[in-house]
Amino acid sequence: MNDMVEAIHLLEDKLKNLLSNYEFLKNENEILLQDTTKLRHQLLEKEQLLINQKKQYDLLKIAKTIEGSSNSTRDTKLKINTLIREIDKCIIQLNE
């Protein structure tokens, strides 16, 4: 009978320990999920910033070429033609 009581107490202790570990890991997982969400949001912001900076760089490069300070007028003409084609596609889609 005494052995059975000890076994029950041991089982209760292990169960309490297991529940304690579960709660700790559950809280830690929640914190990690929040950190992951925050980092994903920051990554999206940085990617958007990079896209905007690249667009600004391309526009500046075109402006400098048009200004005559660069020798790559061919690249500028090709870029302008590409932009015109994109605008034409947009106009066609709007007219549909």
As a 3-state breakdown, the chain gives helix, strand, coil percent values, each rounded to 5, of 95, 0, 5
93 pLDDT band, cuts 50/70/90, is: confident
pLDDT tens for each residue of 26-82: 999 999 999 999 999 999 999 999 999 999 998 887 777 666 655 566 777 787 888
Please count the structural domains in the chain: 1
Range of the domain at 64: 2-95
User: What would the mean pLDDT of 17-31 be, rounded to a whole number?
Assistant: 96
Count, in order, helices (H) and strands (E) of the chain: 2, 0
| DSSP classification of residue 1 | -
- pTM of the predicted structure, to 2 decimals: 0.52
